[in-house]
Amino acid sequence: MKRDSRGIILLAVVAVVAFAIGACAGPITTVPTAAQPTQAQATSVPQPTAPPPTAVAQPTAAPTQVAQATAAPTQAPSGGPTNPPPTSAAAEIKGRLKTVLDRGKLICGVNGQLAGFSVLEADGNYSGIDAEFCRVVAAALFNDVSKIEYRPLTTQNRFAALQSGEVDVLMRNTTFTLNRDTAVGLEFLPTTFFDGGGILVEKSLNAAKLEDLAGATICVLSGTTNEQVLTDTFNALKIQFTPLTFPEANALYKALDEGRCDAATSDKSQLAGQRASLLSKPDDWAIMDATLSKEPLAPAVLQNDAQWADVVRWAIYATWYAEELGINQANVDDKLANGDTNTKRFLGGTGSLGKDMGLSPDAFYRVIKLVGNYGEIFEKTLGPNTKFKVPRGLNTPYTEGGLQYSPPFR
């Protein structure tokens, strides 16, 4: 019964609501009019189907744009890079590069006392392979190798000078090691001289092997990899010796000349240079055959400034690449005018390699024209026609069995 009562009540409510709706809606004759919008909506259904073909047709225009874009590389035979364009973000000058360009000169940290690498000559100019690579960077930046301030640094303060911003780049016969590249916060660049640790002894000692130096006093520069290598090597061979450390080369070789040391250790190229320039009787001394360590000597900049690192890196590579291509100071103008596409792109005759780095398009031409390729730099600083007579060894192009292998300039 309760269920029936509820049903009756529900029907009554529905009836009342229906009556109210009918009263508000007006006469029933308006119902057909309400049906017409339904028909209009139905007839409009085909209309939405018309735009899709139009919309589909519009995207078909995109392939035309794609075709235009793909047509651009057909201009590449002129020698220009296909990407990034000259207006790429890489062309924005910032960081250390901006600082150096605004200053108008490069501050290059050097040794200043190492003949063959960097030393101040009587005429007021610096000579040596490190000094030449300071000029390489200045040539790329300013087209003027005189816009350099050489800042002599010791083994103790060289890293602090770079970290504090006192110098822009370190070109100071510095060995590229893991610790220096990470914990010290440096970014090492292409090796400018592949060297090895050696020992300089007086010929009268008749020392043919390291064991012959048992009990000897050996001079070494403090704060160098040579100091650690000497200790590691002699300890491994159980050779007793006494190290005598010095903060700079002049004091070390003075002590050697005075007989305070029986031998000296350093990179072999440095031993050759200092023997020729600092010892009173250089012919009385010989560099032993033994090679104690690998000593890749490389420039360094501070970490986290990719644009500046790239400028120094590729300026150095340019000296390698030019030698590989047979480009030198004497023929660089002819190569620029008459060389193949690759040569012209490298020298800035076409493309935008230099501009994309924030430099002049002819930055690498300037390097070769004003300083020379690596072979030319080596010959006038350390080669057989100098008093040092250092053999090139590993410092030759990979095509000649050396370690110099430049990435392509494209």
Residues 38-58: tens digit of each pLDDT:
333 333 333 333 333 333 333
pLDDT higher than threshold 80 for residue 259: yes
Q: Strand 148-152's sheet: what is its strand order? A: 148-152, 106-110, 169-170, 300-302, 186-188
pLDDT of residue 208: 92
Task: Give me the mean pLDDT over the 131-143 stretch.
Answer: 98
pLDDT of residue 24: 39
pLDDT band at 19 (very low <50, low <70, confident <90, very high): very low
pLDDT higher than threshold 90 for residue 23: no
pLDDT single digits (tens) 285-343: 999 999 999 999 999 999 999 999 999 999 999 999 999 999 999 999 999 999 999 99
pLDDT of residue 342: 97
pLDDT higher than threshold 50 for residue 12: no
CATH-assigned architecture of domain 89-192+298-326+372-400 = 3-Layer(aba) Sandwich (3.40)
In 3D space, the residue among 270, 317, 316, 298 whose CA is nearest the CA of residue 175 turns out to be: 298
Distance CA 57, CA 108 (A): 62
Q: What percent of the chain has pLDDT over 70?
A: 78
Count the neighbouring beta carbons within 10 Å of the beta carbon of residue 65: 9
pLDDT of residue 304: 96
User: Is the domain covering 196-295 a CATH 3.40.190.10 domain?
Assistant: yes
Distance CA 29, CA 235 (A): 115
pLDDT of residue 77: 35
Within the chain, all domains assigned CATH 3.40.190.10 are found at 89-192+298-326+372-400, 196-295
CB 169 within 8 A of CB 106: yes
Rounded to the nearest 10 degrees, the angle between the axes of helix 129-142 and helix 363-370 is 140
